Amino acid sequence: AGMEGSGDASRAVADWRLAVWTLCSVLLPVLITAWCSFQRSQRQLLIRDIFRKSKHDWHYTDLFGQPSYCCVCAQHILRGAFCGCCGLRVSERCLKKADQRFLCKEIMMRGTAGAPSSMPHHWIRGNVPLCSCCIVCKQQCGTQPKLCDYRCVWCQYTVHDECMVDCLRTEDCTFGEFRDLIIPPYYLSTINQMRKEKRTSYEKVVPYCRKHWMPVIVLANTRSGNNMGETLLGEFKMLLNPVQVFDLSKIAPAKALQLCTWLPCNTVRVLVCGGDGTVGWVLDAIDEMKIKGQERYIPHVAILPLGTGNDLSHTLGWGAGYAGEVPVEQILRNVMEADGITLDRWKVQVTNKGYYNLRKPKVFTMNNYFSIGPDALMALNFHAHREKTPSLFSSRIINKAVYFFYGTKDCLVQECKDLNKKVELELDGERIELPNLEGIIVLNIGYWGGGCRLWEGMGDEPYPLGRYDDGLLEVVGVHGSFHCAQIQVKLANPVRLGQAHTVRLILKSSKMPMQVDGEPWAQGPCTVTITHKTHALMLYHSGEQTDDDDASSLSE
């Protein structure tokens, strides 16, 4: 009995020991994981706090795209923080030291007596661009696997450690290749002081009096098309003064364009990074400047196409879509070399039918085209689904695939059939007899539907390409979605209805889809009147294009 009791006791102890070890083996990983999560969250809070208070434009990355070295401890790093303005790269543990030790690009010089007309280089050590050459010995920089060599954050010149001499540290910066596009910090500080003193003789300020100075303002929509706007913002901030680069998801174009009033009259160039809708948004803001009496500060507008259709960009020679294939430096060169032209802008007034209708007419501004019928229906369905699940529409290819799906669906359903029985069309006051149609498209520019030359058509003797500055609209009809697809692949021509200075369309019955520059809506019986509104100053890039204009024309 004694032996049995001692055996039971030892078994109980063994069971308790097993239970304790089992509990420890379960709890210990949980506690370690919880502790690591707590420490990670504390680090993230600290990093976020540094980012918020810093004058640097810090961003965190889990993997740098090229071999990188911490600017503080000089160790090789795979992940960490980088400044989107000056290019500093730093490990997570050295972030606070780097933030305190290194200055970022100054957008405006402070604390200087008088009116400075120059500034020294701002050198950053290490992580120089690949294939950069030393300005002293002309040999390649950044070839050693360590933190080495210097780069000026303004002129982008690079120099070897051993070639760096005292005269280079104190030498005036020339601002490099893009000196004619950059707004120097000393210029802004001088103009700011003059505005406080209510002096307007800006012509005496350097580089105001420089002959070829054409400062550029970059307006990027980070939500457009393929979501490349965020990357482009950083690259432009590296090459220009950060004050010249604006994120349109954070600041409205009208506010950003007030920078033009600090710059020479009739010399500013604006680069809009986005789709046709973003361009229209910026042009509307420029029209507001005219209303405010700021007409002498109106800039010329260039386009970097990030949207889905990009027909206006295609028309003006900037390509059908940008996907990073052209370096940002080449884009800036293209902006410098582009020619100024004028673009017709049109007023589209939609007046609802009915004697007791007290609502004001809807008024739109048109740059590209107005349409009623199948292509407007595709745009309406696309926008309805994008508003429900915007995260799914972040790729230009996916967007075009969705358009293709709705176009195929309409070929079977034919929701817009017998349009000619539901509408009346007048061109310059003359009524047009309509054949059997499902859609009518009114064009201001030469391209439609993502790069199709609609008015020109196909055949041995195509019509001349419609102009964007002649005060005339081209009006065509289509037989349906399948006919639209045939036109886009050059297997059919549209039904050309004529050209006019004023277009009037009366929708007599039922509800039909309409769109202006890709912004669709469903419209009941109404009268649509399209008249000339104003001109916009644009930039035309005359780079070489293929016959089909499928390749981007951003590169020379």
What phi-psi label fits residue 428: left (phi over 0), alpha (psi between -120 and 50 degrees) or beta? left
Contact between 269 and 214 under an 8 Å Cβ cutoff? The reply is yes
Task: Indicate the CATH number for domain 49-105.
Answer: 3.30.60.20
Say how far apart CA 179 and CA 157 lie, in whole Å: 13
Please check whether residue 345 is in contact with residue 366, taking contact to mean a CB–CB distance below 8 angstroms.
yes
Residue 342 pLDDT: 95
- Domain ranges for the chain, please list them: 49-105, 214-337, 345-535
**What pLDDT score does 26 carry?**
84
Residue position matching structure tokens 């083996």: 25
Distances (CA, A) of 396 to 41, 127, 453, 550: 36, 33, 20, 14
Distance CA 168, CA 166 (A): 5
Q: Which of 513, 267, 187, 215 is nearest to 378 (CA)?
A: 513
Domain 345-535: assigned CATH number:
2.60.200.40
Share of the chain above pLDDT 90, in %: 44
Alpha-carbon distances, residue 257 vs 249, 250, 292, 388 (angstroms): 15, 14, 12, 32
**At a CB cut-off of 8 Å and minimum separation 6, what does 195 contact?**
262
Question: 138-166, pLDDT tens digit by residue?
Answer: 999 988 899 999 999 999 999 999 998 87
Do domains 214-337 and 345-535 share one topology? The answer is: no
CATH architecture of 214-337: 3-Layer(aba) Sandwich (3.40)
With beta carbons less than 8 A apart as the criterion, state whether 424 and 506 touch: yes
**Residue-by-residue DSSP string for 189-256:** HHHHHHHHTT---GGGSTTTT-TT---EEEEE-TTSTTS-HHHHHHHHHHHS-GGGEEETTTS-HHHH
pLDDT tens-place string over residues 28-57: 888 888 888 877 777 777 778 888 888 999
Tell me: pLDDT of 201 over 90. no
The Cα–Cα gap between 500 and 477 comes to 15
Q: Output the pTM of the full model.
A: 0.84
With CA atoms as reference, report the closest residue to 303 among 324, 280, 325, 279.
Answer: 279
Contact 241, 262 (CB under 8 A): no
- The whole-angstrom separation of Cα 371 and Cα 350 is 13
Whole-number Å distance between alpha carbons of 50 and 314:
43
**Res. 281: pLDDT tops 50:** yes
pLDDT digits (tens, 9 = 90+) for 344-359: 999 999 998 875 666 7
**Residue 452 CB contacts under 8 Å (≥ 6 apart), including other chains:** 487, 488
Work out the average pLDDT over 3-20.
Answer: 74
Q: Where are the alpha helices (DSSP H) in 389-538?
A: 396-413, 419-422, 481-488
Q: Lowest-confidence range among 322-336, 376-390, 467-481, 511-525?
A: 376-390
Lowest mean pLDDT among 42-46, 176-180, 248-252, 424-428: 42-46
- What value does the mean pLDDT of the chain take? 84
